[in-house]
Structure 1
């Protein structure tokens, strides 16, 4: 397959990348780079590989079974109590989780536009919500996909340009890919991995591949799409870490993106601030569009509702999630509190989703010859154990136990 053909295959995976490169990821990567320099770049290598492992399974499930992950969850259990508990977990955790992420997405994207224009982030938050709503209401998957792929490209160019302008140390970057855990860095390692492997993306991917491709014969295209897109998303995160590492002395504490953009000015001139602001806007807007889609596919699938993008029930779910995000802007919601809440929800949900996904991928009556092999199961088990550790640690940390 030629390079041109491979690039043409990119689509659903780019939506997954767009979803995990949100303001929370930008913030976590920035704080990590500023505080620990290049030392934790290796964390993103693990994150990229782990995300590819789980997302490939999710996409394969959707293409072979013709079902979304929510539908598969609802139909795999004979025991009604287990089925109802599963549905509750999906509707409650995914619905609430995507709504929490949505608030942070819109607040973060609006902050980027406010930095560029000087217009209130409240105004931009409402505008972002309206534009995202119009895009989703069209129900035209290809239009949404192209818009998000374009914004992922904008993010990549913005952050890569910032990193180049600052002039990082290539030798130090290379050493950053050697695994090591500096004192006090475990929380940020947890954050970097947790913001890359996102539970609702597994629901998003299983459904959106069906909008692009027709069945098992397209698994090869889907895998190329998944690998290229997630690697690109991971590289964006890495460039953010590199930018922050080059801009600050190790150990610097930064509390918000606006302050970071201001401190880039002496190093790279006004262009760095512009690039960074455009990048965080793109990060916020792409995630603000994909989170409602993921929530709608998960919820309608789990409840047995019509999952067509133009159905009233589908639109009602994503409209509610998007509305929560816009309302948080109008009410002056705290991005920090919202992000903490979203991390708790993700910490609870992700291990459950990962375990169920691997269970579903071993059901021969569902997937036939496309069930997981021993290597896929081994990789999935390793990733799941790490995810469980992350979930437990996140919950205990937020609870103040550790």
Structure 2
């Protein structure tokens, strides 16, 4: 019974933690401009994160080692350092966006400017990452993030023409006023939002922290194969709500308040209160994950003691890296940079950096020296190679599309 409860709780936290500030903003922007015509990208992205996370989780369960520990050993220190720098740049950018997301959500609640709130969020984030238990942090914040299910309720309450929404999704009907290059840019952004590398760093490192063994592979797969798809459905609900309410009015999302607007229209003040709770929980949870991911990756590469299941005094460097990252991210935010702009940039650069972290995982997942009989099977390899090609194409297209479209403007 305890194992089944672990599966259920893991699924719930996966749903609550899947949608971060990148998914919130990107899906709402896409919904307000393209309706559900880019739903196919969300589906591809969700399958991709399942493939990526399953391989990483299986590696952690069998080898007892996390991503960058293996990257350095398998690829060597120089190539491993390149991977570390690229992935940490994206994760740091995401951390800036997540702290900004929490601050913007609290601004909606209190009307206090987000720059005044951000330093207090940073202190709270550091305290949680330093003192809170791993399981409590993951479960409490993840479960509170389930408040974002209110987007699905709102979409139902809005009573859209489901046949038209279905046609948009199935036929990928681009609105006539949008260009194909802009359509392609947002396809890249959606893919990057779904396959953010930090999710995998956190997932595999968490598996090592929780001492997964080959016996836990079934639990891990249940969390991946149910939690992430349900999170993807939530992303589609955000896009669908924005498409129904904002698109007909010609409103393009450029603030977190506009992301919440469809829920307020459908469900009033109660719905708005619930969605703000979801915003705070989801973005704070993602800030916890990105902050830890930076510490995990640096410590794993350089061989420092790391993790929340050891005493803070035994993993001093790990906690210093996490603390410095939070301070630096807050410092960037205090320059008055637009958190929404940072969010949009982070999902594009996430797509750009994906090959550097995905390829080593695919290589290790086929190495019997690490995994023995738990190496990729035929299906896993077929899916792994298909997604390697997709990731390479998306990575090569990201910067040209960003320049040509002026970040989708």
Q: TM-score, normalised by structure 1?
A: 0.89
Counterpart pick for 1:173 among 138, 157, 165: 165
Counterpart pick for 1:321 among 325, 344, 358: 325
* Alpha-carbon offset, residue 396 of structure 1: 1.8
Residue-by-residue CA offset, 1:303-345 (whole Å, 9 max, x unaligned): 1111233311111121122222322333322224423542454
* Alpha-carbon offset, residue 178 of structure 1: 1.3
Q: Work out whether residues 126 and 329 of structure 1, in 8 Å CA contact, stay in contact via their aligned partners in 2.
A: no
- The aligned residue for residue 110 of structure 1 is 103
More displaced stretch, 5-14 vs 121-130: 5-14
User: Which SS does the other structure have where 1:76 is aligned?
Assistant: helix
* Alpha-carbon offset, residue 371 of structure 1: 0.5
Q: Work out whether residues 295 and 319 of structure 2, in 8 Å CA contact, stay in contact via their aligned partners in 1.
A: yes
- The aligned residue for residue 372 of structure 2 is 368
Pairing 1:172-321 to 2, within 5 Å after superposition: 172-180=164-172, 182=174, 183-184=179-180, 185-250=183-248, 252-262=251-261, 265-266=264-265, 268-309=267-308, 310=312, 311-321=315-325
Q: Work out whether residues 241 and 262 of structure 2, in 8 Å CA contact, stay in contact via their aligned partners in 1.
A: no
CA RMSD of aligned residues (A): 2.5
Q: Work out whether residues 6 and 225 of structure 1, in 8 Å CA contact, stay in contact via their aligned partners in 2.
A: no
Counterpart pick for 1:136 among 126, 129, 153: 129
Distance 1:232 1:318, change over 3 A: farther
2:351 aligned with 1:347, yes or no?
yes
Q: Work out whether residues 154 and 241 of structure 2, in 8 Å CA contact, stay in contact via their aligned partners in 1.
A: yes
- The aligned residue for residue 115 of structure 2 is 122
- The aligned residue for residue 163 of structure 1 is 155
Distance 1:222 1:259, change over 3 A: closer
* Alpha-carbon offset, residue 202 of structure 1: 2.2
Counterpart pick for 1:37 among 35, 44, 50: 35
* Alpha-carbon offset, residue 20 of structure 1: 4.8
* Alpha-carbon offset, residue 19 of structure 1: 5.5
2:84 aligned with 1:85, yes or no?
no
Residue-by-residue CA offset, 1:238-275 (whole Å, 9 max, x unaligned): 11111111212356433222245457655543344334
**Structure 2 unaligned regions, length at least 5:** none
* Alpha-carbon offset, residue 17 of structure 1: 5.6
Q: Work out whether residues 91 and 197 of structure 2, in 8 Å CA contact, stay in contact via their aligned partners in 1.
A: no
**Structure 1 unaligned regions, length at least 5:** none
Aligned length: 394
Counterpart pick for 1:396 among 395, 400, 405: 400
